[in-house]
Amino acid sequence: MNWQSILGNFALILFVLTVVTGIIWCIDVFHLAKQRRARAKAALAEFDERMAKLDAGGVKSDMNARAKLEADLLRQPTWIEYSGSFFPVIAAVFFLRSFLYEPFKIPSSSMVPTLEVGDLILVNKYTYGIRLPVINKKIIEVHQPQRGDVMVFRYPENPSLDYIKRVVGVPGDNIVYKNKRLTVNG
């Protein structure tokens, strides 16, 4: 697998981003946040102790300073905050594109006049069965293709290309293409 095919595989990119941001989010929730809270608790106890001494000496304490210190101590590092924010969005997009619907752009004029070059179509990903993303292995069979359906498939000679075509025949049909004329069962 070369870099061009990896960068052209949006499902793989979404999968990697989902895994990486999910791992960072889990590490933060189950480990780093607890450490931040423990450090904040210790620092705030020390702050309160100092303020109590100042109050005993007649100096008025600033409660806004305590709130600011607490917010600063509990704040997530920016990269963790971004990972935690992006994780649910990327996971939702990955799920939607992998199992429900995926947009495709019509690449050629073979579907004219119904679909023009550059038209966008939204493909129902579960009509013919559920496939595992990235490895494209069918795990649940739902329906078989019917004549007239518009299908998206990978071009066998170059799997990085998506082909969008209309089904003209199903198993058992007799299809003949002769003199630039297509006949089905007749």
- Residue at 179: amino acid letter: N
Where in the sequence numbering do the catalytic residues fall?
110, 165
Q: Which residues, including other chains, have CB under 8 Å from residue 47's CB and lie 6 or more apart?
A: 65, 66, 69
Q: Return the residue matching tokens 């949006």.
A: 10
- State residue 181 phi and psi, 5-degree precision: -130, 130
Q: Which residues, including other chains, have CB under 8 Å from residue 30's CB and lie 6 or more apart?
A: none
Q: Return the residue matching tokens 């960072």.
A: 24
